[in-house]
Amino acid sequence: MNAISPEEEAGPFAARPMLVDQVFEAVLSLLLDDKISTGSPLSIDGLAKRFKVSSTPVREALARLEATGMVRREALRGYKVAPEPTAADVEALLTSRHVLEPALTRIACTNVTDGLVAELEEFNRDLDASRLGGDTFAGYRAYWKADESFHRRIAEATDNEFLLRAYSSIEGHIQRFRLLVQNDMSGEHTVREHQAIIDAFRAHDAEAAMAAMNEHIAGIRSRSSGLTKFAGKNQH
């Protein structure tokens, strides 16, 4: 009797996560590269036909996008592209980050290991290598992923499921913010601020790590304050 591989044992569901990821990123590309305007409806059947997949991964991808605030679902009407965030939306998100992430960083630093420092270093190297990726989502996807991974790994390192849930509750909106400001805000400053956090982790200095994350969020707030796209002028 031939042995059954884990992939075969999982059956047709084995490839689903990758398929959902692919549809998720394909729809992101359409949204971020201005191929679909705000307020436009998003047909599950239409997207399934466009990407040559079943409706299931499209439905799951749209549910993930709903968590970021990039699309909205209305009862009996389906999904549509959400308006761009207002300046007030961005300010509320940054306030939430300023309250939560420095505290997460301090706790994570009390659990620091050489492996954690190495992971954070790798994410920051990826960030630096990809910060000039281009003006389309395909070009700056690697930067977005590296930044996302850096911050989420710190939240995970708290080893506290309730704190991780708290971070996860705003993570989708953080992802949206990163995507919308990518071309305006990516640069050496982010890499430097991340490195200050890493250096504090390496030194096992929880208070310095918290202060460095606080400075990082303050830097993000300062750099985002002049972005006119959040003043609502592009909303339809």
Per residue in 64-84, pLDDT (tens digit) is 888 888 899 988 789 999 888
If one counts the domains in the chain, the total is 2
Q: Residue 154: its pLDDT value, please?
A: 98
Over residues 145-151, mean pLDDT: 93
* Domain of 172, in residue numbers: 87-231
Task: Please give the Cα distance from 146 to 130 (Å, whole number).
Answer: 9
The verdict on 96 and 76 lying in the same domain is: no
Residue 134 clears pLDDT 90, i.e. is over it: no
pTM over 0.85: no
Residue 1 resides in a domain: no
Of the candidates 81, 107, 131, which is a domain's last residue?
A: 81
Residues 77 and 105 in one domain: no
Q: Residue 48 domain-assigned? A: yes
| b/e burial code for range 180-202 (CB count within 10 A of at least 16 → b) | bbbeebbeeebbebbbbbbebbb
The residue ranking higher by pLDDT, 3 or 90, is: 90
Cα dist from 195 to 10, 87, 188, whole Å: 41, 28, 10
pLDDT, the chain, mean = 84
Decide: 97 and 174 in contact? Cβ < 8 Å: yes
